[in-house]
Structure 1
Amino acid sequence: MSDFVGDLDPQQAWDLLASDPDAVLVDVRTSAEWQWVGGADLSGLGKHTLGIEWMTSAGEPNQGFVEQLGRAGVGPETPVLFLCRSGHRSSAAARTAAAAGYGPAYNVAEGFEGDPDPQGRRGTVNGWKVAGLPWRQS
């Protein structure tokens, strides 16, 4: 069993991805979110984000999540960071991955879009995008 290390804010996550050549970022949002909202762009680090859904677009748990981590090339000693919209799904994914022997595992707190503002909109309060970190939309 590996360790769930805890939360990193988006800048700390970027710094770890930049400083550790083995560290990987796994975006656990749905494929619809990747397509319509965008995602972290690690090309400047010579890396790419792995997309492995925690929940399917139909709202069902991804029963093959742990197996898909291994198939994506994540090794048992690989530092792995998990990202979702706001940091909730990714926290559960990081803990599950660590319990399955992956990691050290980290949750990117605040997520890609962050917490909702008083009007209920995301992407204005905190998160990867608000931190000014590289991202792209397809």
Structure 2
Amino acid sequence: MKHLSPKETHAYLQAHPEALFVDVRMELEYLYVGHPPGIVHVAWYEYPEMQPDVPRFVAQVRREAGGDSERPVVLLCRSGTRTLAAGEALEAAGFRNVVNVLHGFEGDTDANFQRGKLNGWRHDGLPWEQM
């Protein structure tokens, strides 16, 4: 699995338009916190279970990728943590080109446990939208 900063990821996506960009956060995060335009939403887990259904996740990503396990898959979550487990699951299922977005959409927490002030997709001024 590759690990790219948000800005590196944005450049990678521009250079690889065939890449599948996947937001693995819960639907509420995706809708109300915001997301990059054009990203595909495939939750790693949802509330209230809060446990991944790995076969469902892999099958849905495979479907979105058109069955092509060689197609680059770029994964985004809140902070870059959920994407590690999701990426490992995809690699175990045969995906060969998985990219993790470091710091995720909202970024790491600062000394006051607040996100969005140190790093992350939004912090870096990259395109995003919300409901």
TM exceeding 0.5: yes
Q: Find the partner of 1:123 among 81, 103, 116.
A: 116
Partner residue, 1:60 = 51
Q: Deviations over 1:18-49 (max 9, x none)?
A: 011211211000001011101112xxxxxx21
Take 2:79 and 2:42, find their aligned partners in 1: how far apart are those partners? 16
Give 3-state SS (helix, strand or coil) of 1:82's partner.
strand
Partner residue, 1:14 = 10
Q: How many residues align?
A: 128
Q: Is the 8 A contact 1:56 1:62 kept in 2?
A: no
Give 3-state SS (helix, strand or coil) of 1:25's partner.
strand
Matched, 1:94 2:90: no
Take 2:34 and 2:17, find their aligned partners in 1: how far apart are those partners? 24
Aligned residue identity for 2:42: I
Matched, 1:113 2:111: no
Q: Is the 8 A contact 1:53 1:62 kept in 2?
A: no
Partner residue, 2:33 = 37
Q: CA deviation at 1:119?
A: 1.4
CA-based RMSD: 1.2
Q: CA deviation at 1:103?
A: 3.2
Q: Is the 8 A contact 1:79 1:105 kept in 2?
A: yes
Runs of 4+ in 1 over 2 A off after TM superposition: none
